[in-house]
């Protein structure tokens, strides 16, 4: 007899010379369900002393003929003729004599794997005379895995069962987006994020976090890598402040032929002066009112300044005016270049009749009689002009 797992194979026959023999299969796992051993083969000639059991076959002798009975198919095959007793000290060799052990399935699905989307993994189990059951229900020797998850297989042969499992992670090609170029207004820093599950990172300065704190204007890039490849993205960041401008108080220039007006310099900023100039610096040499407008992505600012230069040539100062209500020549109108000068007016006896520290050319002389009057006019550079003016009411 011989054992295979929970099954015993044995034979039974009549005394020598009889002509029948039975091979039995007894399943210990089902005792009580089957009341007697199963007969798997009946010989018609008894001349046996031994038999050999392999995982799928029983070998035995009938007379001098060696037979093989296949347990799976229930078929009998002739193998060959045994030797004569004289060759083995008078003993007849009745079978193969060596009992071959039954081997359980041996296989290994390997370590857990990482693969890329669109790159399926072929799982293959090699086992002789085995049956297969995979986690998805298929019974083939191979399984094609193309989704993230755990895969298992159960392999069975005549001896026993064995199972194994493997986890396969399918990764995407890394793709990240730092966004469009940015202008940051009045902030100290901005955090750039390049998060991608299972990836490694390298920024332009060699740092390896999934984020980067940008604190100054420039170009920032990151290289994101995983087992499926790499991806690089970049972004330009401009740190900007809202513009401001102060040209200062109105000014009088007496010791120079020109004046330089300076505006603060901002990157990526537009400048426009009242003269049409577009640079942060304006050089002027004429009396006038000047303004500037500054514009960038964070806002705008404006300012105005009045500038007076020394008077060149002889300014126009009238020698007569007629404040008589006819709306012509009604006031003592001086040259515009002298506007804002100080003035004193005296009568012919030296009495002060009019005084202004910021004369705007608007004296109508209503408080005095017609006659000749004398004036002293001092401009913004302290240059004096003296003369006489006739008033006719």
pLDDT of residue 57: 72
pLDDT range class, residue 46, cuts 50, 70, 90:
very low
Q: What is the CATH number of domain 113-171?
A: 2.60.40.10
332-353 pLDDT, tens digit each = 999 888 888 999 999 999 999 9
Q: In the predicted model, is pLDDT for residue 279 greater than 90?
A: yes
pTM greater than the 0.95 cutoff: no
Q: Could you count the other beta carbons within 10 Å of the beta carbon of residue 323?
A: 18
Q: In the predicted model, is pLDDT for residue 61 greater than 80?
A: no
Q: Could you count the other beta carbons within 10 Å of the beta carbon of residue 205?
A: 7
What residues does each domain of the chain span?
2-88, 113-171, 182-239, 251-308, 320-391
pLDDT range class, residue 99, cuts 50, 70, 90:
very low
pLDDT of residue 41: 59
pLDDT of residue 13: 52
**Phi, psi torsion values for 224, nearest 5 degrees:** -105, 130
pLDDT range class, residue 52, cuts 50, 70, 90:
low
- Lowest mean pLDDT, pick from 92-106, 177-191, 352-366, 375-389: 92-106
Instruction: Note whether 210 and 202 are within 8 A (CB).
Output: no
Q: Distance from first CA to last CA of the chain, Å, rounded?
A: 157
Third-level CATH fold of 2-88: Thrombin, subunit H (2.40.10)
CATH top class, domain 251-308? mainly beta
113-171: same fold as 2-88? no
Q: In the predicted model, is pLDDT for residue 83 greater than 80?
A: no
Pairwise pLDDT comparison (37 vs 168), residue with the higher score:
168
Q: Who contacts 293 (Cβ-Cβ below 8 Å, separation ≥6)?
A: 271, 272, 300, 301, 302
Instruction: Note whether 245 and 264 are within 8 A (CB).
Output: yes
Q: In the predicted model, is pLDDT for residue 366 greater than 70?
A: yes
CATH of 320-391, one of 2.60.40, 1.10.3470, 3.40.30, 2.50.20: 2.60.40
pLDDT of residue 47: 46
Name which of 302, 306, 330 is nearest 392 in CA terms.
Answer: 330
Report the chain's mean pLDDT, rounded to a whole number. Answer: 83
pLDDT of residue 129: 80
* Residue 359 C-beta-side C-alpha neighbours within 13 Å: 27
Q: In the predicted model, is pLDDT for residue 233 greater than 90?
A: yes
Give percent of the chain with pLDDT exceeding 90.
Answer: 55
Name which of 290, 306, 305, 308 is nearest 254 in CA terms.
Answer: 308
pLDDT range class, residue 91, cuts 50, 70, 90:
very low
């Amino acid at each position: 007899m011989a054992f295979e797992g929970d099954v015993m194979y044995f034979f039974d026959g009549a005394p020598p010379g009889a002509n029948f023999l039975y091979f039995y299969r007894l399943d210990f796992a089902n005792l009580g369900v089957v009341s007697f051993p199963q007969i798997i083969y009946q010989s018609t000639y008894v001349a046996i002393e031994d038999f050999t059991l392999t995982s799928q076959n029983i070998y035995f002798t009938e007379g001098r003929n060696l037979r093989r009975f296949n347990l799976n198919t229930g078929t009998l095959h002739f193998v060959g003729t045994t030797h004569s007793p004289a060759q083995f000290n008078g003993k007849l060799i009745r079978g193969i004599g060596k009992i071959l052990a039954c081997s359980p399935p041996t296989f290994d699905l390997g370590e857990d794997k990482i693969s890329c989307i669109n790159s399926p993994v072929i799982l293959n189990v090699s086992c002789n005379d085995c049956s297969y059951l995979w986690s998805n229900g298929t019974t083939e020797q191979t399984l094609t895995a193309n989704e993230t998850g755990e895969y298992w297989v159960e392999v069975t042969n005549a001896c026993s069962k064995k199972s194994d499992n493997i986890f396969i992670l399918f990764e995407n090609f890394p793709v990240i987006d730092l966004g469009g170029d940015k202008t940051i207004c009045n902030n100290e820093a901005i955090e750039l994020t390049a998060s991608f599950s299972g990836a490694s990172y390298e920024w332009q300065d060699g740092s390896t976090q999934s984020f980067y704190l940008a604190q100054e204007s420039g170009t920032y890039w990151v290289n994101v890598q995983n087992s499926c490849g790499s991806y690089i993205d970049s972004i330009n960041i401009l740190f900007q402040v809202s513009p401001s401008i102060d040209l200062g108080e109105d000014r009088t220039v007496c010791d120079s032929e020109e004046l330089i007006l300076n505006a603060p310099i901002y990157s990526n900023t537009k400048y426009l002066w009242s003269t049409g100039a577009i640079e942060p610096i304006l050089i002027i040499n004429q009396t006038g009112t000047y303004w500037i407008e500054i514009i960038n992505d964070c806002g705008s600012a404006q300012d105005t300044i009045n500038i007076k230069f020394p008077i060149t040539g002889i300014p126009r100062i009238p020698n007569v005016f007629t404040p008589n209500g006819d709306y012509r020549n009604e006031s003592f109108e001086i040259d515009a270049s002298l506007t804002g000068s100080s003035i004193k007016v005296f009568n012919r006896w030296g009495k002060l009749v009019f005084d202004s520290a910021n004369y705007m050319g608007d004296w109508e002389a209503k408080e005095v009689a017609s006659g000749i009057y004398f004036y002293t006019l001092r401009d913004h550079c302290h240059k004096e002009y003296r003369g006489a003016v006739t008033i006719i009411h």
